[in-house]
Chain A
Amino acid sequence: MSQRLIGLLLDALWETLAMVGVSCFLAALVGIPLGVVLLVTQRGHIAESPLFNRVVGALVNATRSTPFIILMVAIIPLTRLIVGTSIGTWAAAVPLTLAAIPFVARLAEASLREVDPGLIEAAQAMGATPRQIVAKVLIPEALPGIVAGMTITVVSLIGYSAMAGAVGGGGLGDLGIRYGYQRFEGEVMAAVVVVLIVLVSLVQWAGDRLARQLNKRLTAKQAAAI
């Protein structure tokens, strides 16, 4: 492999990691609490507020149903406002974050919904407030599921980030398109694909491992096998 190709790959890999890392961190920061809100404000839940729930739910659905490539172009004014430019790696992180927030929220909500209602009732009977139930029951119980959801998010964002080339975001996908497709350098395309496969496999492996370690319901034997 030529020195030039390695340099290109490393730069692109760094750009991808930066875009995906920043957007995943921000998406978790906003998306997980949003998932909690989506669940607990439902009718019959610990902080029910059906109207609020419907409004937030509609916003989440609207963002989720917008194709990423359209979302990216549509929010260019917002991107300019936040990072000062609409071109480059950091500019690409804005639509990525915005697309990931509702995705994370729905995945977190689904994990939180799986928590045994008996546990919530038991906590309520011991005097726990809704806030305490979220912090001490819902989140700890759903944590393995939330971690699994974040793993899915990271992998999806690595895919989405390939589209960020459209706003000059760079990254592995952009490299593959520009060199591999537009310049017919098949070697670059192949190298990009290999790097992406390794990257996604690593993320999935680490996510699975963490989720399993957090799952206290495993028997000692299963835990030892991790």
Chain B
Amino acid sequence: MGHLSLSAVSKIYDDHGAPVTALSGITLDIADGEFCAILGHSGCGKTSLLNMVAGFESPTSGSITVDRQAVTGPGWERTIIFQDYALFPWANIRDNVAFGLEMKGVPPAERRRIVDHHLSLVGLAAFAERYPHQLSGGMKQRVAIARALAVQPRVLLMDEPFAALDDQTRRAMQGELTRIWQQEKKTVVLVTHSIDEAILLADTVVVLSRHPGRIKRIVPIGLDRPRDEDDPAYAVLRKELRALIHDEADPI
């Protein structure tokens, strides 16, 4: 379960009376269990796209469905992970991960079992009683992943999740995400501006153009996981994506 479908989705913002088209004619089918990366420069509307799938904003026209059910607002079947983690600072790690389950009304014993499972999944079983400020950035993002997965969403949304991390931590987290995704088999939509992140993680990369944001190309990544940057096929994909993205860069 977790088939996400966008049909002719457009988003027009009102900029002090002047309409600005952020996204136009986005039609996209993401299969159950597929890892999809949305790649584009800042200002291509990729975050707007994710916000609409999350239900925080509604499309100006077009429709978004998850397993044929229309998206009308935020809900647990589409959890989201932000760049700045958005953990609850007053709650310890266990309570953070349990939050969505509590909202769903899952009984305490069951809640505990699910939380323990997800804390082990992200490798933080020993940190259950700590508070967010006691953890490093990478660990905080692991908590956010555990929290988002604990409610058993159909689709996991990620908005530049590793952009705030240092290079080494980011690579480690990309490896972790691949491992977790292979274990959990969730549909994932990840927004990123990093070509390498898209190739390392995704089954398909959706390249967006700018002004307005449209789908420029959908590039399937057929490489085996874990992916190797020294693989010649990897280099070919990187070159292709770089050329697609390069056209969109602002003249400096």
Contacts and interface: CB of A to CB of B under 8 A. Distances in A.
Interface residues on A, range: 20 to 34
Interface in B39-64: 54-56
Interface of B: 54-56, 73-76, 78-80, 82, 84, 86, 88-91, 99-100, 102-104, 131, 133-134, 144, 147-148, 151, 157
B79 A216 contact: no
Contacts of A129: 103
B227 to A, nearest CB: 29
Given A126-B151, A216-B133, A132 B90 contact: no
A124 B151 contact: no
**Max chain B Cβ within 10 angstroms of own Cβ: one of A118, A127, A137:** A127
A144 to B, nearest CB: 9
A136 B102 contact: yes
Contacts of B74: 121, 124-125, 127
**Max chain B Cβ within 10 angstroms of own Cβ: one of A125, A127, A132, A218:** A125
Given A124-B55, A136-B102, 10 more contacts: A123-B99, A126-B100, A127-B75, A127-B100, A128-B100, A128-B103, A129-B103, A143-B90, A216-B89, A216-B90
Contacts of B104: 127
B147 A126 contact: yes
A219 interface: yes
Contact of A136 (B103, B151, B157): B103
A114 interface: no
A127 B153 CA distance: 10
11 contacts: A121-B56, A121-B82, A125-B79, A126-B151, A127-B74, A127-B104, A136-B103, A214-B90, A216-B89, A217-B133, A219-B133
Contacts of A217: 89, 133
A119 interface: yes
A116 B103 contact: no
B151 A119 contact: no
